[in-house]
Amino acid sequence: MSAGYLNNKFDVIVVGAGHAGCEAALSAARLGCNVLLCSLNLDNIALQPCNPAIGGPAKSTLVREIDALGGVMGEVADATYIQMKTLNSSKGPAVRALRAQSDKKEYTQYMRHILESTPNIWLKQCCITGLREKDGVITGAVDEYGIEYSCRAVILTTGTSLEGKLFIGLQSYPGGRLGEMPAIGLSGWLREHGIQTKKLKTGTPARVDKRTIDYSKMTVQPGDDKLSFYSYKPNRPVRKQVPCYLTRTNEDTHNIIRANLDKSPMYQGLIQGVGPRYCPSIEDKIVRFASNPSHHIFIEPEGLNTYEVYIQGFSTSLPACVQVEMIRSLPGLENAHIIKPAYAVEYDYVPAIQTQHSLMSKDIKGLFFAGQINGTSGYEEAAAQGLIAGINAVNYINSSDMLELPRSSSYIGTLIDDLVTKDIQEPYRMLTSRSEYRLLLRQDNADERLTELGHKIGLIDDEQFNRFKTKQENIQKEMTRLKETKVPATDEVNSILAKYEEHIDRGMRLSELLKRPNINYEIFKELDEKTRNLDLSEDITGEVEVLIKYDGYLKRQEQQVETAEKLEKYKIPDNIDYSKIKHISTETREKLEKVRPQNLAQASRIGGVKPADISVLMVMLKG
Ligand SMILES: Cc1cc2nc3c(=O)[nH]c(=O)nc-3n(C[C@H](O)[C@H](O)[C@H](O)COP(=O)(O)OP(=O)(O)OC[C@H]3O[C@@H](n4cnc5c(N)ncnc54)[C@H](O)[C@@H]3O)c2cc1C
């Protein structure tokens, strides 16, 4: 254990112990750095201030990728779930998604335990108000008490706290989250040092006392009987599960909201920041989708040992007294008691266009940004960036090559590329539609894509790596077996197939049969004694099924990757002077100047850059 703490000397300072900050601190410490992790309130480590759940579409893939690279979010979600559910299980593999309802308090405690049992992490409750730099290179940070810390890299993961302002109706308060002070000072320091900040907004619904809910008027939403987990580590705890419930808004709810829009800080222009398009407030939904007579509202427990229940889909910034009326208009919530009101928060973020793919600032060496401060929204997006920032802070300190994940490798790579390339103006949330390779980037094959890299980086130990290799070998063995095993076109076989509306006229290899939409692995157990006896785990059969059924689509996406990689080979020099390039449009020139892409592939993804201008650049870079 390093004694650098005695004179406030650290390798890395992580500002904020949220989802990004925890992954950043852990990866940097596990890779050998001495880390100071500061946060405004250490009882709120890895807090879920909105939905008490990890995962869902696209986000579950991020969690598996984090795990495959050696991060901890998956492990913590697995250890603290109160409901596990695979969403879209009847749909294609690209959109299947695991979702873990968390025990919010336990999640926080479990993460704190991991941090505290990691050598080289020093926790500190304080507000970092400024940084220290010399000639554009980070040298330290200072807290609210004037205590100076020296370091070689700083990772800012400040969430919604920077200059945060909470809104409940037309009242507003300084705050980063309900019950937590805002972080004042740091945004100013960034601006004084040439880093632009802008405002975004987000909101959360009220929490209600479960003893005042009539669940008999709602539809029960149970967890899965057959459990899936996030982490590839073997420890898979089977825990007590509790149900969620579904209710709906109605005409009364909508009328109350419409009648009170004049009390909304959003509609009165008090909030300037743009809110998350994919998580709109209920008043936004009523106004934007006026013809929709009803919206789904999910009732989700916040833990096993609390009465607090989260009202998903009902985020609002209307006044607290209006919130009571709104909530009591919902079936089953007629007598509801609100424990905590819904609120909106407006905060400073640092547009990530000022950041490199490594998540290091383009202007200040050793300064990294991760999570909500980069304009994202969501725990999983934050954790993914935190992990990469932590790894790269260590690479920076060791003068090693930065880790930059290509889009074709992962949702993490896609997320970071979008952030640093597209001039994002609203909270960015990961969606499957954001990836052009979503069939290749599935939650089920995150280990195949990233474990080797995690091992090479040093965050995946030999034991896990060997387990991964054995799994891959078993998948290959099984693929070969299916290609070599034929089922005969006998009456016995066809009578089994008839149950699934299938028939074969000739003997057929199992791999060929599996391509049929009605056929799955379970049916093979009826058809083939060897399949029955092998009793392979679902991790393996699921993967084999995807690889065989979607073979054609996967090959097409692999070709797409090859085409994109060709454009990546056209490197753009750092010192390129776009003003001297003739025959490109002014808009393209301005966008290129702003983003300063590293290669032609990145240039082609910038909104507003025209394909014809890419051709001009291609000719120029070739010559
Ligand atoms: C009201 C609200 C509503 C939300 N709604 C949604 C939603 O609808 N959908 C969604 O996906 N996500 C939502 N979120 C966002 C979600 O909470 C974040 O995306 C996620 O937690 C971001 O993780 P992070 O690590 O970047 O920051 P956070 O988890 O917010 O952690 C930041 C940490 O930094 C600390 N900190 C900040 N500044 C300093 C400083 N100067 N010195 C020391 N410590 C500091 C804070 O104390 C905090 O612990 C919401 C958040 C809030 C508060």
**pLDDT at position 166 over 70:** yes
CB-based contact 154:212 (threshold 8 Å): no
273 lines ligand 1 (CB under 6 A): no
Distance CA 62, CA 64 (A): 6
SS (H, E, C) 457-496: HCCCCHHHHHHHHHHHHHHHHHHHHHHHCEECCCHHHHHH
* Sign of the alpha-carbon dihedral angle for 250, 251, 255, 256: negative
**pLDDT at position 526 over 50:** yes
pTM: 0.94
* CATH fit for domain 462-554, picks 3.30.310.50, 1.10.3720.10, 3.30.70.360, 1.10.10.1800: 1.10.10.1800
Identify the residue whose tokens are 């989260």: 310
What's the CATH class of domain 569-622? Answer: mainly alpha
Ligand 1, pocket-test mutation among 99, 202, 340, most atoms within 8 A of CB: 202
44 lines ligand 1 (CB under 6 A): yes
Ligand 1, pocket-test mutation among 161, 177, 178, 380, most atoms within 8 A of CB: 161
102 lines ligand 1 (CB under 6 A): no
**pLDDT at position 235 over 80:** no
- CATH 1.10.10.1800 residue spans of the chain: 462-554
601 lines ligand 1 (CB under 6 A): no
Distance CA 472, CA 490 (A): 34
Residue 382 CA to ligand 1 center (angstroms) comes to: 9
- CATH 2.40.30.260 residue spans of the chain: 207-344
φ, ψ at 344 (rounded to 5°): -115, 155
167, β-bridge pairs: 172, 344
Nearest ligand 1 atom to alpha carbon 379: 20
Per-residue confidence (pLDDT) for residue 1, from 0 to 100: 61
DSSP assignment of 523-565 equals HHHHH-HHHHHH---HHHHHHHHHHHHTHHHHHHHHHHHHHHH
φ, ψ at 85 (rounded to 5°): -150, 135
As a whole number, mean pLDDT of residues 191-214 equals 97
Residue 346 CA to ligand 1 center (angstroms) comes to: 11
Alpha carbon 321 to its chain centroid, in Å, reads 34
As a whole number, mean pLDDT of residues 573-602 equals 89
Give the list of residues 6+ apart from residue 192 with CB closer than 8 angstroms, or none.
none
Query: Closest Cα to atom 31, ligand 1: which residue?
Result: 18
Residue 177 CA to ligand 1 center (angstroms) comes to: 8
Residue 48 CA to ligand 1 center (angstroms) comes to: 8
By C-alpha distance, which of 99, 71, 72, 68 is closest to 85?
99
Residue 31 CA to ligand 1 center (angstroms) comes to: 25
Lowest mean pLDDT among 23-37, 69-83, 183-197, 565-579: 565-579
- CATH 1.10.150.570 residue spans of the chain: 569-622
Nearest 5°: CA angle at 131, between 182 and 126?
A: 45
427 lines ligand 1 (CB under 6 A): no
Which alpha helices (H) appear in 574-610, and where do they start and end?
A: 586-595, 600-604
183 lines ligand 1 (CB under 6 A): yes
**pLDDT at position 623 over 60:** no
The domain 10-201+347-457: what is its CATH number?
A: 3.50.50.60
Residue type present at position 299: I
Residue 343 CA to ligand 1 center (angstroms) comes to: 14
382 lines ligand 1 (CB under 6 A): yes
What's the CATH class of domain 207-344? Answer: mainly beta
Ligand 1, pocket-test mutation among 23, 27, 37, 40, most atoms within 8 A of CB: 40
159 lines ligand 1 (CB under 6 A): yes
**Would you call 256 helix, strand, or coil by DSSP?**
helix
* Interval 397-427: pLDDT, tens: 999 999 999 999 999 999 999 999 998 889 9
* Interval 21-66: pLDDT, tens: 999 999 999 999 999 999 999 999 999 999 999 999 999 999 999 9
CB-based contact 454:68 (threshold 8 Å): yes
pLDDT band at 132 (very low <50, low <70, confident <90, very high): very high
Query: Closest Cα to atom 29, ligand 1: which residue?
Result: 18
Nearest ligand 1 atom to alpha carbon 343: 1
201 lines ligand 1 (CB under 6 A): no
Residue type present at position 530: K
Nearest ligand 1 atom to alpha carbon 176: 53
Per-residue confidence (pLDDT) for residue 614, from 0 to 100: 87
Distance CA 450, CA 445 (A): 9
41 lines ligand 1 (CB under 6 A): yes
Count of H helices and E strands in the chain? 21, 23
pLDDT band at 392 (very low <50, low <70, confident <90, very high): very high
* Interval 291-328: pLDDT, tens: 899 999 999 999 999 999 999 999 999 999 999 999 99
313 lines ligand 1 (CB under 6 A): no
Distance CA 504, CA 523 (A): 14
* Interval 137-147: pLDDT, tens: 999 999 999 99
Mean pLDDT for the chain overall: 94
Lowest mean pLDDT among 240-254, 361-375, 603-617: 603-617
Residue type present at position 442: R
CB-based contact 200:426 (threshold 8 Å): yes
